[in-house]
């Protein structure tokens, strides 16, 4: 389909299109008036749909050059990394922070770390819908600015109440790249290429919380916990400058809406309409966008099952993020800097999982698609089964070797299995939701982010009393048994996922 069609002339015409270099900044769209024929008023109503100028339109993000695509993906991965390590960079400095503010309540040790994740429960509910109305770019850029402001506010806090408030606001402003990153990849990559792209981006939300304590540990030992926030602010400043220079809008409905506005302005014909335009008011669309994630969670069994599945795994990460410092200080006499290095076992597992799952997933999908002639989202799910067994193995390994004070490297090796298992769950779930929900991928991912962040913020508060009562061995064994109970869900989705996804009874009107 061309950009617009009339009853008089069905020839495709190029309207408000640009073939400029893909890396160049976006410029006002130009219209070649010589290609437009006068349209009688009586026929204006027929001049409706505006689409891409054919399958190879360079303005379609799917057709951008590889350089431009990967620059956008890598930059969003970097922004996600910065906002994600912000969740844990404070962890090794928590004892010093509590001492400076005169706080003796040990429960706050986990809370000042996890309240950041609580912000992820709030932000996606309105930021993801806003991105589906106004595009990805303005949401990400504004969030960078607010994240910078609240990082500085945390650094200059003078009491625990002020700090906790700014820490929550920092978390809320950190969530857009985490929520929208998967949607941006769906805008840029065809389904058979999304595995590798998502594995690169996913290193941000998974590796960030691991690198954070390594940096924070040595900062706390040398220049103090406040500098963890000044450092985060500096890194965010880099994000802001780079996003202005490199990031471009990728959301197709937003780009076609701009194209329509250009056509209406330059032709004087108000009847141009994007193929995504349903003729509804902005207020109604916003209302629908706001309730869409909740509808998905309540009405779609697949979204609910995957949200719970990922939430349990994600909460285990924050069990460790909030207790590693105390475990390795108390059991192995590590200082703050050395305790931060204990997180590298998880990081190693994430890297191994990234390359193995991301690369093999795309290969498997292409192979299955060539065999069957159709690409099914369910082709992404087999690693979930591996995850259901690797995570319990890692938890039991880590828990019992740490309790028995076996050489410190042994429990850290155990956490590497948890890292691999986490990536085996995180990547397939993210790509599955992207492939299933298309242009509404941001809402589906927001639903998953909200639920898992709620688990990640609340459940780790039970970590210190759990391990105090049961010990590291039985405490982690309990978590392992719960993780093992997820394995039937993985097999269930492999067998019945397609039926549930396509059956009219389970379709959600979005």
Low-confidence winner among 26-40, 135-149, 311-325, 430-444 (lowest mean pLDDT): 26-40
The CA-based angle 401-407-411, given to 5 degrees, is 40
Q: What mean pLDDT comes out for the span 252-257?
A: 88
Query: Is-contact 185 73, C-beta < 8 A?
Result: yes
Higher per-residue pLDDT: 286 or 417: 417
For residue 93, give the nearest of 189, 221, 188 by alpha carbon: 221
353 three-class SS = helix
Distances (CA, A) of 215 to 151, 177, 178, 332, 366: 16, 21, 21, 20, 39
Confidence of residue 13 (pLDDT cuts 50, 70, 90): very low
Domains of the chain as residue ranges with CATH? 61-250+292-506 (1.20.1250.20)
What pLDDT shows up at residue 112?
83
* Nearest-10 Cα torsion for 257, 200, 198, 421: -150
Query: Is-contact 303 444, C-beta < 8 A?
Result: yes
Encode pLDDT of 86-135 as tens digits. 888 888 888 888 888 888 776 677 778 778 888 888 778 777 778 878 88
Q: With 50 as the cut, is the pLDDT of residue 83 above it?
A: yes
What pLDDT shows up at residue 35?
38
Low-confidence winner among 106-110, 362-366, 454-458 (lowest mean pLDDT): 106-110
Percent of the chain exceeding pLDDT 90 equals 23
Higher per-residue pLDDT: 284 or 26: 284
For residue 362, give the nearest of 503, 484, 129, 194 by alpha carbon: 194
What pLDDT shows up at residue 143?
92
Higher per-residue pLDDT: 448 or 10: 448
What pLDDT shows up at residue 2?
43
Q: Which residue has the tokens 């073939």?
A: 19
pTM to 2 decimal places: 0.75
What pLDDT shows up at residue 267?
82
Q: With 70 as the cut, is the pLDDT of residue 18 above it?
A: no
Higher per-residue pLDDT: 15 or 127: 127
What pLDDT shows up at residue 395?
94
What lies within 8 Å, CB to CB, of 300 at 6+ separation is 506, 508
What pLDDT shows up at residue 36?
38
Q: With 70 as the cut, is the pLDDT of residue 10 above it?
A: no
Percent of the chain exceeding pLDDT 70 equals 89
Q: With 60 as the cut, is the pLDDT of residue 26 above it?
A: no
241 three-class SS = helix
What pLDDT shows up at residue 16?
59
Compute φ and ψ for 273, nearest 5 degrees: -145, 130
Query: Is-contact 77 204, C-beta < 8 A?
Result: yes
Encode pLDDT of 181-191 as tens digits. 888 888 898 88
**Rg over CA atoms, the chain:** 24
Q: With 80 as the cut, is the pLDDT of residue 332 above it?
A: yes
22 three-class SS = coil
Q: Which residue has the tokens 């924050």?
A: 318
Greatest mean pLDDT among 287-291, 373-377, 420-424, 436-440 = 420-424
C-alpha count within 13 angstroms, C-beta hemisphere, residue 297: 18
Neighbours of 390 (CB within 10 A): 24
Q: How many Å apart are CA 119 and CA 299, to the nearest integer?
A: 25
Q: What mean pLDDT comes out for the span 481-495?
A: 85
Higher per-residue pLDDT: 444 or 474: 474
Greatest mean pLDDT among 161-170, 259-268, 424-433 = 161-170
Q: How many Å apart are CA 418 and CA 411, to the nearest integer?
A: 11
Q: How many Å apart are CA 96 and CA 113, to the nearest integer?
A: 13
What pLDDT shows up at residue 170?
93
Q: Which residues pair with 49 in a beta bridge?
A: 273
Q: How many Å apart are CA 102 and CA 108, to the nearest integer?
A: 12
Largest CA distance in the chain: 85
Cα separation of the two ends of the chain = 25
C-alpha count within 13 angstroms, C-beta hemisphere, residue 472: 21
Q: Which residue has the tokens 């200082």?
A: 335
Helices vs strands, H then E, count in the chain: 17, 2
Q: Which residue has the tokens 């002020």?
A: 162
Confidence of residue 510 (pLDDT cuts 50, 70, 90): low
Confidence of residue 236 (pLDDT cuts 50, 70, 90): very high
What pLDDT shows up at residue 67?
93
Low-confidence winner among 253-257, 466-470, 496-500 (lowest mean pLDDT): 496-500
Q: With 50 as the cut, is the pLDDT of residue 28 above it?
A: no
Over the chain, what is the mean pLDDT?
Answer: 81
């Amino acid at each position: 389909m061309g950009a617009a069609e009339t009853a008089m002339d069905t020839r495709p015409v190029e309207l408000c299109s640009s073939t400029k270099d893909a890396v160049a900044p976006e410029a006002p769209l130009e219209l070649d008036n010589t290609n437009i024929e006068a349209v009688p008023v009586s026929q204006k109503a027929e001049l409706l749909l505006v689409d891409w100028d054919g399958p190879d339109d360079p303005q379609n993000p799917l057709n951008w050059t590889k350089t431009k695509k990967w620059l956008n993906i890598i930059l969003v991965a970097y922004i996600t990394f910065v906002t994600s390590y912000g969740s844990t960079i404070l962890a090794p400095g928590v004892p010093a922070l509590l001492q400076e503010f005169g706080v003796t309540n040990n429960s706050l040790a986990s809370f000042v770390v996890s309240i950041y994740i609580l912000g992820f429960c709030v932000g996606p509910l309105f930021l993801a819908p806003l991105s589906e109305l106004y595009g990805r770019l303005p949401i990400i850029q504004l969030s960078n600015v607010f994240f910078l402001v609240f990082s500085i506010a945390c650094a200059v806090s003078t009491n625990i109440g002020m700090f906790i408030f700014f820490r929550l606001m920092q978390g809320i402003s950190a969530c857009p790249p985490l929520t929208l990153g998967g949607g941006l990849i769906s805008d840029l990559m065809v389904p058979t290429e999304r595995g590798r792209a998502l594995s690169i981006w996913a290193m941000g939300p998974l590796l960030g919380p691991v690198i954070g304590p390594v940096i924070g540990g040595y900062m706390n030992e040398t220049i103090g916990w406040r500098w963890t926030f000044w450092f985060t602010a500096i890194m965010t400043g880099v994000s802001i400058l780079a996003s202005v220079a490199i990031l471009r809008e990728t959301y197709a409905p937003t780009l076609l809406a701009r194209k329509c506005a250009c056509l209406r302005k330059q032709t004087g014909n108000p009847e141009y309409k994007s193929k995504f335009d349903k003729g509804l008011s902005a207020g109604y669309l916003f209302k629908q966008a706001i309730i869409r994630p909740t509808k998905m969670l309540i009405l779609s069994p697949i979204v609910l099952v995957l949200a719970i599945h990922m939430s349990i795994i994600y909460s285990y990460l924050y069990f460790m993020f909030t207790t590693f410092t105390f475990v390795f200080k108390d059991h192995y006499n590590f200082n703050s800097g050395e305790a931060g290095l204990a997180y590298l076992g998880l990081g190693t597992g994430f890297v191994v999982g990234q390359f193995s799952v991301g690369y093999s997933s795309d290969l498997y999908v292409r192979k299955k698609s060539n065999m069957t002639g159709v690409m099914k989202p369910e082709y992404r799910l087999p690693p979930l089964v591996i995850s259901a067994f690797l995570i319990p193995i890692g938890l039991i390994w880590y828990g019992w070797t740490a309790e028995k004070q076996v050489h410190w490297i042994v429990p850290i090796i155990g956490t590497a299995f948890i890292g691999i298992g986490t990536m085996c769950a995180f990547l397939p779930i993210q790509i599955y939701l992207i492939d299933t929900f298309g242009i509404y991928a941001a809402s589906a991912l927001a639903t998953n982010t909200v639920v898992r962040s709620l688990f990640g913020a609340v459940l780790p508060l039970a970590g210190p009393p759990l391990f105090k009562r049961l010990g590291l061995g039985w405490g982690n064994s309990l978590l392992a048994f719960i993780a093992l109970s997820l394995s039937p869900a993985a097999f269930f989705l492999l067998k019945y996922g397609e039926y549930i996804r396509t059956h009219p009874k389970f379709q959600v009107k979005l």
